[in-house]
Structure formats: structure tokens, C-alpha cells
Structure 1
């Protein structure tokens, strides 16, 4: 019989040293309770699966991508990097913002609004150009 190589075993990476998934779970659960938002609603708002949210809420320690933590933070009205900071720095959880400069959350919201406004203005300019082109053509 031919010698077959055993396929590699793929495992979900566990927490790295210094990562505090329990702190992420506490912050997430506290914010969801304060905002009165359930798993289904947060999943829809963030684009993250309910099963991933459930694991994070239990502090399971399964590593998720930073973009997942960012999407959840954004959906909960936190600065994009809020959960990442909690994960790697064991900062206070919940609504305690002593680790953030004053007004950081407001600045993050304003930055997102600015991005959306720029996108809307770009779309509006394209519509105006299309209308101008169509109205300047001679009738057929």
C-alpha cells in the first residue's frame, strides 16, 4: 500500500498572549444590555453572524479578525478600534471611557458622517452632470 501523507489538521487559532477575550465579552454584553439590543439585531447591524457574536459574548477566546471587532464596535456606537483596545490592553470595559481621549467617540462618529457626506456629494455631482448632458442635447 502506498504511503499517504496525513493531511494537516486545521484548527481555529486560540487567543494570543495578552489578549483578554473575557474583557471583550464583558464590554459587549454590558453595551448590548445598556442599548437593549439583542443578538439578531446586532448581527444585522454589524454584518457579523449570530454564532460569532454568541462566542464573543461568552469570551470563548476564538480569535476573530479585527474587521469583525470593528464592525461590532461601529454597530454599537463605539469608535472603530474600541473592542480591539479592550482585547489587547485589558482596559476598563463597558461605558467607562477613561482609556480614550475626551470626545474620541464623537470624533469617530463625525468622521463616518463626513465619509458618507462625501459619498453623497459625489453621487449628486454625477446625477447633476447626467441631467445637464441630457438637457443640453437637441431634441430628436
Structure 2
């Protein structure tokens, strides 16, 4: 089993960051470039991974009250993850992403996961910045 955690502070209110991060129709804007999420019957989604060319049945649960999103594969149990949003004061937000890979044989390398987490949080921060800078403001 491999676990990874990465956090990032973003200059926006928690609700703004949560809305951007947890919009199932816009996950591709910040997830690793080789993952593509296609909503099915909620909470079901299909995740296509370019690296393997495979589709995986997964579940995504979004809890707006707790500012949390959780996900994981359904049949295979290969991985799970969660994203937690928390106010950090002064109009900033702390975003934490946690991934667990249970099947080492199908897990990406540690360095690939670390790099993907860092790049994903960079892209999420940019999406949040663009939303906050839009003429109509957050919303």
C-alpha cells in the first residue's frame, strides 16, 4: 500500500475553491492530464487513464457541508482518495489531497504520483485564480 498527501494554500474563500475543485464536469481542468472522469449515474463515474488505456468504474462523493470530496475504484479496490477544503484565515483556503494505492502492481511510481499531485494542485490554483479574477467575480 502506498499513501500520498499534498496540501496547498490558495488565495480564495473555501466555498469558491470547493465549487471549482468538486465540479464533476470540470475535473479534467485540474486532475492529472492522463485521467479523464466521465460522470455516470451519481455517485458513479468512469475514469479513463491514458497511461494504461483502461477505463475504471469509480465512485465520487461530494459533501458540500464538510467541503470534502472522496473517490475510489468500485470493483477493483485499487485506489481511494479524498480532497479536503479548509479555511486558512484572511480569505485563504488550505486544500489537501490524499491518495492511497492498495495494489502496488498497478500503482504509478512514487515520483509520478508526487509530480501529478503537485501539477494538479498547481492547475487547481490557477483555475481558482482565473475564476476569482473573472470580471463577474466568483460565482
Q: Please, what TM-score do these two structures have when normalized by structure 2?
A: 0.28
Instruction: Report the structure number with the largest CA radius of gyration.
Output: 1
Higher strand share: 2
Q: Please, what TM-score do these two structures have when normalized by structure 1?
A: 0.28
Q: Quick one: higher RCO (CA 8 Å, sep 6+), 1 or 2? A: 2
Higher helix share: 1
